[in-house]
Amino acid sequence: MNKIVVAIDFSECSINAFFHALSIAQKCHSDLLLVWVGKALSEKDKFEDPKDPSKEVSVQFEELIAKYKPELPNNKIEYKIRTGKVYKEIADEARESNAMLVVTGTHGATVFVEFWIGSNANRIVSLSPCPVITIRGGIDIQRSLSKIVFPIDSSLETRQKANFTAYLAKQHEAEVYILSLYTTKVKAMRQNVDLYADQVASYMEEMGIKYNIQSVVADNIADAMIDYAKKVDANLISMMTQQETNTANLWMGSYAQQTVNRSPIPVLSIHPMNTLTAGTSF
């Protein structure tokens, strides 16, 4: 299970994702599997352009691995070439490899595209059988995890990311910033959020992880998470793919999707079933 899949197309964005994955692999003692996905060609396509891009891709992979393998001496860095739709092939590879994590770059999207089409990154997040870290293009941020923002809303699933987040925090000796998000003035709802935050804080304390707790009033959960992460100079936001919803959210796209597309800080997305057992389960 100790394998990280990295989506690579050799763009600047995907190479940046590779560097982040390499840093995580060093701390977690993980193997890296670099995956390039090519377009499935029809017989007509092959006739009109018989050039096989996979040969050039293989050369680039060999050069990349030769250069950076010394930075991961006790684990493997391998590559695989697949054919088909990027998001499906990356998710399938993660499943077949029993990966613990997928890391992929994303160029972001306009709100219109975000709602109607979605990006490969968001589709990888949706289909992946394991947690996914997405990193937007042009991001220059400390790669070794030191500060992880852990947002808490009123949904039952909000605490389920604690296990995997704690695992990463423990391996990196990172501090977890628990952020209570108040989206309503209803006292009972806010008390639920505070209760969940206290439970997560107790878990982090049991795991020997540094943490602190803050709260903010949030009109938009995505904006609140991103603004707070920038304020504390975090280098990862840990969130569930299932969060609170409201009427405005249904039109703009899910808060999770908005965060993946807009965040200048890497985002860890976890499905409710993507939890990693680490002594306690929420």
The pLDDT tens digits of the residues spanning 117-126 come to 346 888 899 8
CA distance 227 to 208: 27
| 5 phi/psi in degrees, rounded to 5 | -95, 130
Is it the case that residue 139 has pLDDT exceeding 90? no
pLDDT in tens, 71-108: 999 999 999 999 999 999 999 999 999 999 999 998 64
Class at the top of the CATH hierarchy for domain 147-270: alpha beta
Which superfamily does CATH assign the domain made up of 3-136 to? HUPs (3.40.50.620)
Of 243 and 85, more confident? 85
For residue 169, the model assigns a pLDDT of: 97
Encoding tokens for residue 245? 């919803």
Domain extents in the chain = 3-136, 147-270
Single-letter amino acid code for the residue at 93: E
- pTM, entire model: 0.88
**Separation in Å, CA 183 to CA 177, 180, 244:** 19, 10, 9
Q: Would 3-136 and 147-270 be classified into the same CATH topology?
A: yes
Contact residues for 105 (Cβ-Cβ < 8 A; gap 6+)? 7, 11, 13, 14, 16, 17, 121, 134, 135, 136, 137
